[in-house]
Amino acid sequence: MSILDIIINYREGLLSGLLVTLELCLIIWFSGLVIGTLLGYLGAKYKIEIGGPSRAISFILSGIPVLVLLFWLHYPLQAMLQININPFLTAAFALSIINIFSISELVRNALANFPAEYNMAAKVCGLSHKDTFTKIELPIIMRQIIPTALNIQVNMLQLTLFASLISVEEIFRVAQRINSIIYKPIEIYTALALFFLLICLPLNGIAIWFKAKYTRNISES
Amino acid sequence: MLEGKNLKKQYHGREILKGIDISVEAGKIVSLIGPSGSGKTTLLRVLSMLDPANSGAVIFEGQEYKFPMREENIIPPWPRISVVFQQLFLWPHLTLKENILLPLGGVQESKQMEELIDLFQMRGFIERYPNQASLGQKQRVALVRALVLNPEYLLLDEITSALDIEQVGIILNYLQGLKNKGVGILLVTHLLNFAKRASDQIVFLDEGQILERGDANILKNPDHPRIKKFISLIESAS
């Protein structure tokens, strides 16, 4: 049975797994990019009240393996609270938290390290606050954070595989189930690798393109 | 007139300006000379009110700003007062031409800008990004970015350090033309001949204090031993 045969024969199962993975991914990406950007902005603006706690949480999270966090939220926490939450929601929450704090740190650092002299040059040229933000600060900061933010999103997509370990029916878990039936690991996991390559490579490519095109231009003035 | 009275400025507890009195009249060129770390750049920032003084006052066209004061109480004097910084601070995501055009507020082309591009021999590199240009090229762009805004007072911090003699001459002539049109210019420079030729007044700053001020003669026959030493060092180096 070839890769193509497996994809055709198990298309419904693979498709449902793919949709779960994509749904999970969209939640993680959206929450990370929106809430993370907002948190990063607020963290740069209110350094002590928001920036401090945000950095502390990021630091703690950076020391906890994703799998441990996922398991901890899924098993002991729910047992302690005597609640039962859908594993999909648990995985979405855990991975969103990681994405939110990764993005917030990226944005907060970019804002905190933005050279004040560019604003001073804008001020002396008579530019308004709005023009300074939209035409100078935002474009420079976006050029700095977009490549790294894209890399983080690719990494988050790959981390969704861990959701299978708490019984989320995402594509990796579906692939494992198919393999347990037909035992064709090479073909199945190659198909899975191709799926991830299909999504990850363009994102990585865009990140590299962005970096090559724009980072060079802000390397010095 | 742009005037600073008893300006004091501290950074991290260190007094950089120790009560400076300085004035730049319309249609005059004042050259500020002094060793590195003497407070020249700080004086430019404080006098232009980009960096508020800890105490003292800045008087701009009759309006007095007594420091310390809240930044929002300063009526923005820019770009009527314009500054070209030694570090230039060209915006790195814009081409050199866009750096000049952005402050013009969406104007696609400016006749004055085009004339200055030709005058300062910038045509060959104006479409480049700052990181693709030499320091001398960027110095000219930063100067033009300030000039196209037609400032009434122009504060220039070491803007000719990377230029050749021909370009320095062109800029000197242009500044003298501006002076004749009534623009007041404060010029930080290490080029003593440039200062002698251009200036109505020369001010020597050392360790946050003005040691001497006067016409070009203070560079020929300085009274203060510190200035004598500084001039001999510069002359021996050049």
Split at pLDDT 50, 70, 90, the class of B202 is very high
Kindly list the residues from chain B whose CB atom is less than 8 angstroms away from the CB atom of residue A214: 93
Q: Which residues of B touch A (CB under 8 A)?
A: 48, 50, 76, 78-79, 81-83, 85, 87-93, 102-103, 129-131, 138, 145-146, 149
Residue contact B146–A126, C-beta within 8 A: no
Concatenating the DSSP letter of every residue in A167-206 gives T---HHHHHHHHHHHH--HHHHHHHHHHHHHHHHHHHHHH
Could you tell me if B88 and A221 are in contact, meaning their C-beta atoms sit under 8 angstroms apart? yes
SS3 B161: coil
Q: Which of A127, A216, A221 sits opposite B90 (nearest CB)?
A: A221
Q: Is A182 in the B-facing interface, judged by CB distances under 8 Å?
A: no
Cβ burial of A179 (10 Å; 0-12, 13-18, 19+) is middle
> Whole-angstrom Cα distance, residue B79 to residue A175?
65
Residue contact B131–A216, C-beta within 8 A: yes
Picking from A119, A136, A138, A221 by the largest number of B CB atoms within 10 A of its own CB, the best residue to mutate is A221
Q: Which of B83, B87, B93 sits opposite A124 (nearest CB)?
A: B83
Q: Which residue of A has its CA nearest to B134?
A: A221
**CA-based nearest residue to A91, from A64, A72, A106, A104:** A72
ipTM associated with this complex: 0.86
Q: What pLDDT was estimated at residue A188? A: 92
Residue contact B149–A139, C-beta within 8 A: no
Return the domain boundaries, chain B: 87-150
pLDDT in tens, A130-160: 999 999 999 999 888 999 999 999 999 999 9
Q: For the whole model, what pTM was predicted?
A: 0.80
Considering only residues B5 and B221, tell me which one the structure prediction assigns the higher pLDDT: B5
Distance from CA of A85 to the nearest CA of B (A): 47
Q: How many CA atoms lie within 13 A of A87 on its CB side?
A: 16
- What mean pLDDT is reported for chain B? 90
Q: What pLDDT was estimated at residue B106? A: 67
Residue contact B93–A120, C-beta within 8 A: no
Q: Is A63 in the B-facing interface, judged by CB distances under 8 Å?
A: no
Distance from CA of B151 to the nearest CA of A (A): 10
Give the orientation angle of helix A11-45 with respect to helix A87-112, to 10 degrees: 40
Residue contact A124–B93, C-beta within 8 A: no
Q: Which residue of B has its CA nearest to A142?
A: B93
Residue contact B92–A127, C-beta within 8 A: no
With 60 as the cut, is the pLDDT of residue B108 above it? Answer: yes
Residue contact A125–B102, C-beta within 8 A: yes
Split at pLDDT 50, 70, 90, the class of A32 is very high
Question: Which tokens sit at B67?
Answer: 């420091």
Picking from A118, A125, A136, A145 by the largest number of B CB atoms within 10 A of its own CB, the best residue to mutate is A125
With 60 as the cut, is the pLDDT of residue B222 above it? Answer: yes
pLDDT in tens, B154-163: 999 988 888 8
> Whole-angstrom Cα distance, residue B205 to residue B44?
12
Concatenating the DSSP letter of every residue in B19-59 gives EEEEEE-TT-EEEEE--TTSSHHHHHHHHTTSS--SEEEEE
Question: A9-22: buried (b, 16+ CB within 10 Å) or exposed (e) per residue?
Answer: ebeebbeebeebbe
Split at pLDDT 50, 70, 90, the class of B67 is confident
Interface contacts A/B by beta carbons within 8 Å? 73
Could you tell me if B167 and B211 are in contact, meaning their C-beta atoms sit under 8 angstroms apart? no
